Amino acid sequence: MSSILRREERGDVDRITAGRRVVGFAPVTSHFYRVGTVLVDAGPPNRVDDVLNVLETEITDVLLTHAHEDHVGLAAALADQGARVFAPEPTLEVLADPPSLPGYRRQSWGEAKPVDACPLESEVTTPAGTFETVPTPGHSRHHLALHHRERGWLFTGDAYLGTRDNLRFDEDLETELASLRRLREREAGRLLPGHGSIASDPEAALTDALDWYAERAREAHELRAAGGSLTSIRREMFGWEGFMRWFTGGEFSKTNLVRELLRLPSSLTS
């Protein structure tokens, strides 16, 4: 198992990538961003000490998009150093008293230390400017994206994950797609996600994702209308369940995605 830690300068934003590579498997990493003395999301708990070493700046504010452990890792350590931590209001309880996690999540990311955070209101003013919150439920119920309107930056956390062949058991795809449409209404020149590549044309990236899901939903509905079962539709569209289902004990699976595609209205258009 080897560690991954990168800091890349992207204009006035640093993208930090932290995680690990388990030999033979795809790396598990998450991105978070530093704008001046402000962090948007805070990486995984098992890389806290290494990340503190590469930050090289005092952090005054930490803005969390949601409470999943791969996004909140540094929050407690930075709060101890005097940073203000902000998070969606309904997640404050879980951040103050994190639940114990299934083995694969502990192994991949580690468990976050408790942190007392302040609620993210409709906007938050920081030394790096004002960030507006965009309600983006679906991936998690209380997810908020952060829009730095002045700079045209859209920090999307896990609201935008591109296209995928699996879904977490508790993801609500219909709500997730409504959130992507809400993000598309924002004027932005850069989309900065928690996983995957930065997009320089957010509108196009969001439209591509919405079109892809609409097309997959049409396919799934057609196969269902022809008498297909959940399993046969999954096999036809995405093949056998693979690594993710095995590694996560079924929390992520292709079957979850097909089930959610079938719940989407068949008239869906992007």
Question: Residue 31 or 68: which CB sits closer to Zn ion?
Answer: 68
Kindly provide the b/e burial profile for residues 46-66, where b requires at least 16 CB atoms within 10 angstroms of the residue's own CB: bbbeebeeebeeebbbbbbbb
Q: Which is nearer to Zn ion, 72 or 233 (CB)?
A: 72
* Per-residue buried b or exposed e for 127-147, using 16+ beta carbons within 10 Å of the residue's own CB: ebeebbbbebbbbbebbbbbb
For the CB of residue 27, give the shortest distance to Zn ion in the complex, in Å: 17
The rounded distance, in Å, linking the Cα atoms of 148 and 35 is 10
Q: How far apart are CA 266 and CA 167, in angstroms?
A: 19
Query: Can you tell me which of 31, 34, 68, 164 binds Zn ion, judged by CB under 5 A?
Result: 68
Site string for Zn ion, 2-41 (x = CB under 5 A): ----------------------------------------
Total chain residues near Zn ion (CB under 5 A): 2
Pairing outcome for strands 13-21 and 2-10: antiparallel
d(CA 14, CA 16): 6
The encoded tokens of residue 144 equal 């908020």
Which residues sit opposite 18 in a β-bridge? 5, 30
Least separation in angstroms between residue 139's CB and Zn ion is 6
Site string for Zn ion, 73-112 (x = CB under 5 A): ----------------------------------------
| d(C-alpha 103, C-alpha 247), whole Å | 10
What is the distance of C-alpha 136 from the center of its chain?
11
Report the residue number, 194 or 202, with the smaller CB distance to Zn ion. Answer: 194
Q: Which stretch binds Zn ion (CB under 5 A): 15-23, 64-72, 79-87, 202-210?
A: 64-72
CB nearer Zn ion, residue 105 or residue 190: 105
- Min. distance of Cβ 36 from Zn ion in angstroms? 25
Q: Between 12 and 93, whose beta carbon lies closer to Zn ion?
A: 93
- Output the six-digit token pair for 70: 């791969």
Residue nearest to Zn ion (CB): 68
195: contact with Zn ion by CB under 5 A: no
Q: Which of residues 120-179 bind Zn ion (CB under 5 A)?
A: 158
Nearest approach, Cβ of 203 to Zn ion (angstroms)? 23
> Could you tell me which residues come within 8 angstroms of residue 106 by beta carbon, excluding any fewer than 6 positions away?
none
Nearer to Zn ion (CB atom), residue 158 or residue 241: 158
**Contacts with Zn ion, residue ranges (CB under 5 A):** 68, 158
